[in-house]
Amino acid sequence: MADLIARRRALLGPNVPTFYDDPVHVVRGEGVWLWDAEGRRYLDCYNNVAHVGHCNPRVVRAICDQAATLNTHTRYLHEGILDYVERLTATFDDPLTTAILTCTGSEANDIALRMAEGVTGKRGIIATDATYHGNTALVSHLSRSNVPEVGFGLGQYLRHVEAPDSYRIPDPDGQRFAAQVEAAIADLERSGIGFAALILCPLFLNEGFPTQAEGWLRPAAEAVRRAGGLLICDEVQSGFGRSGSHFWAHQRQGVVPDVVTLGKPMGNGHPVAGLVTTPGIMARFRSAFRYFNTFGGNPVSCAAAMAVLDEVQERDLQANAARIGRLAAVRLSELQQKYPVIGDVRQSGMVFGAEFVLDRDTKAPASAYADRVVNRLRQRGVLLSRLGRHKNTLKIRPPMPFGEEHLDLLVTTLDAVLAETPVSE
Ligand code: PMP
């Protein structure tokens, strides 16, 4: 283990992120389980990349069969990309009928921002102040942390609005958020930059997945439309049925975005991502920019992505997400009765978690406590993480075949860890 950490540092450089004080050396996966090099089994409660389960047999077979037949760059004719985009766009509402396939979610968001510029002729972008949308020079500037200190990027063209936080900032109908978006639009217009797009994850998953009524985003979306900008929904985490109630989380929010970006779960670990948009926006983009992606939408990627769609739809994993999510909320609320350190319990389908506080009245975040809990869970064989503005919220986002028996193991282990971890910060 120490050897791997040292080699990693020597070969990949310092500060390459790993999870846990004691990183896990994984060597094998199956379904919701991972195994380390010593043969120890872990319950994976975090990995949304292995959307339909680690080493899903149908996805593995699809990749192997296509790799054994043909894989090539994307300048030849091949039906794989067309069959997939037909199936993919059928899951969206009209007029979202065209797509670009890429290899990462970052690239997809990068294209989306350029589409906004191509369509509006303006460059002002609005994002939340606790978000992450990827790692290209352009997109990395949307985050407030780890922003590269280089002279290019969004700079003066970016405005942050406060990330929604249902626990601390009441905004039951989304009007407060919409007012902030309107103010940011006005500021961009006043400064001569102009407003191009609002980009956000419709479930605000990186921000701490606040509890929101269906349709919460509608007022902000209307403000964007009135100003002639684009609404970009980043569904890299929230898509492919994870919200439980809808296949795409923006559908739950009652909006039809101009661009939806996709990634992580799309190929179950095979690097395929992309975006879906309207024919009009696609035509404007294609005439404003020459865009070519060597690997994006290659035959193997499309075979992997098609197998993921088949699995989600045939096994009705969206319904499983809804059912397990509801049960998880009940089980976590029971723990909340028992442990005052749990200030809030939140759930959006197969994403759920608990926010830790030092005091329920002041809601002072228990960030170091959350870190201890995550590391102790890891020691007991349960893998998950923490996030949010204060990094004090457990983020539990397992592969979609996560079942009741897995939830039970997770909750029992969490109960044991909370019982043995004193709240002292
Ligand atoms: N958007 C969101 C919401 C993400 O969480 C991430 C990755 N964590 C990305 C985009 C970037 O995706 P990728 O790492 O595939 O570039």
Measured between alpha carbons, how far is 318 from 83 in angstroms, rounded to an integer?
22
Answer for the pair 378, 24: CB distance below 8 angstroms, yes or no.
yes
CB-ligand 1 contact for 385 (6 Å cutoff)? no
For residue 163, report the phi and psi dihedrals to the nearest 5 degrees.
-65, 140
Question: Tokens 């994976």 appear where?
Answer: 44
* Residue 237, pLDDT score: 97
Amino acid at 314: E
Structural domains of the chain sorted by starting position, each given as residue range(s) with its CATH number in brackets: 2-52+316-420 (3.90.1150.10), 57-314 (3.40.640.10)
Tell me, what's the pLDDT at 144? Answer: 82
Provide the pLDDT for residue 152.
64
- pLDDT of the residue at 47: 93
Determine the pLDDT at residue 418.
Answer: 98
Query: pLDDT at position 211, please?
Result: 96
Continuous segment of H or E residues that includes residue 365: strand 364-365
Which residue owns the Cα nearest ligand 1 atom 13? 105
Print pLDDT tens along the chain (425 aa).
789 988 999 999 988 888 899 999 999 999 999 999 999 999 999 999 999 999 999 999 999 999 999 999 989 999 999 999 999 999 999 999 999 999 999 999 999 999 999 999 999 999 999 999 999 988 988 988 766 666 566 778 999 999 999 999 999 999 999 999 999 999 999 999 999 999 999 999 999 999 999 999 999 999 999 999 999 999 999 999 999 999 999 999 999 999 999 999 999 999 999 999 999 999 999 998 889 999 999 999 999 999 999 999 999 999 999 999 999 999 999 999 999 999 999 999 999 999 999 999 999 999 999 999 999 999 999 999 999 889 999 999 999 999 999 999 999 999 999 999 989 75
> How, if at all, do strands 230-234 and 195-200 pair?
parallel
User: Helices 317-338 and 404-420 meet at what angle, rounded to 10?
Assistant: 20
Whole-model pTM: value is 0.97
95 preceded by cis ω (within 30°)? yes
- Cα(133) to ligand 1 centroid in Å equals 5
Whether the CB-CB separation of 222 and 146 falls below 8 Å is answered with: no
pLDDT at 408: 98
Residue 147: what pLDDT?
63
236 contacts 201 by C-beta, under 8 angstroms: yes
Pocket flag, ligand 1, residue 53 (CB < 6 Å): no
pLDDT at 97: 98
Q: How far apart are CA 377 and CA 375, in angstroms?
A: 5
Pocket residue to mutate for ligand 1, from 133, 140, 207, 260, most atoms within 8 A of Cβ: 133
Q: Is the dihedral of CA 185, 188, 190, 193 positive or negative?
A: negative
| CB-ligand 1 contact for 242 (6 Å cutoff) | no
* Four-residue CA torsion sign, 103, 106, 110, 112: positive
Instruction: Provide the pLDDT for residue 126.
Output: 98
Per-residue pLDDT, 155: 79
pLDDT value, residue 16: 81
Return the residue whose CA atom lies nearest to atom 10 of ligand 1: 133
Spacing, Cα 301 to ligand 1 middle (Å): 18
- Give the pLDDT score at 153: 67
